Structure formats: structure tokens, C-alpha cells
């Protein structure tokens, strides 16, 4: 059965996952991650959730503002592959890709 895992993700890694540059996550497997699970990754830095600001002058340096979790920049990723090969005890590497709901053909 698929689970949704809500996780914090440092803003540096968040940007790389969102852009498609980073296609994996290494995590302590304290949640019994499985292929097919969803990762809800929220932008986080120094104990605070962040949201990208809007406007003409918004950029990486001054465009982020502190917000509650429910307003933070969040991306939903599907776990496509999982392994603990050559990892520290209790850790896994997960292959991830953007979540895309399937379409139903009539």
C-alpha cells in the first residue's frame, strides 16, 4: 500500500530536485520507505519552512520568506527505486521522479 511521507528538504537540495537535476534522496529508513510511495518535500532552512516570494525583485537571495508548513514550497515525488547497497546502517537511497497522476481513458 502506497504511503505519503512528509519530509523537510534543505532549500539547496529542494531547488535541485525541483529542477530535475537531483533524482535521488538518501534518508534514514525510519519510515519503511517503499517503491511506489510518495515523498512530499517541503523547502526548509535553519529550522524554518520557506516559500518563494513573488514580484519583480524576487530571486534566490531575497525572494524566500518564512511561512508555516502548509504554505511552504512543496513538491510531490514518487519513489521509483530503493536500495541500501553500500549505505550507512539503516539508510537507503531512493530514485525519485515528479509525481504524475495517471489519466483514465474512456
- Average pLDDT per 10 consecutive residues for the chain, totaling 106 residues: 94 94 98 97 94 62 80 95 97 96 51
The pTM score is: 0.83
Half-sphere exposure of 57 (CA within 13 A, CB side): 1
User: Which residue, among 30, 27, 28, 36, has the nearest Cα to 2 in the 3D structure?
Assistant: 36
What would the CATH number be for the domain defined by 4-98?
Answer: 2.30.130.30
C-alpha cell at 55: 514580484
| CA atoms of 76 and 1, how far apart (whole Å) | 17
Give the model's pLDDT for residue 61: 56
Domains of the chain by residue range: 4-98
Query: What CA–CA distance (Å, rounded) separates 26 from 9?
Result: 11
Report d(CA 58, CA 41) in Å as an integer.
22
Distance CA 99, CA 106 (A): 22
Amino acid at each position: 500500500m502506497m504511503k505519503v511521507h512528509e519530509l523537510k528538504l534543505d532549500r539547496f537540495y529542494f531547488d535541485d530536485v525541483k529542477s530535475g537535476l537531483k533524482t535521488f534522496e538518501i534518508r534514514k529508513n525510519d519510515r519503511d520507505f517503499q517503491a511506489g510511495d510518495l515523498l512530499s518535500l517541503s523547502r526548509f532552512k535553519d529550522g524554518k519552512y520557506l516559500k518563494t516570494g513573488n514580484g519583480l525583485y524576487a530571486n534566490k537571495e531575497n525572494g524566500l520568506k518564512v511561512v508555516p508548513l502548509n504554505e511552504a514550497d512543496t513538491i510531490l515525488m514518487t519513489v521509483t527505486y530503493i536500495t541500501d547497497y553500500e549505505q550507512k546502517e539503516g539508510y537507503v537511497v531512493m530514485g525519485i521522479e515528479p509525481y504524475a497522476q495517471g489519466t483514465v481513458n474512456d
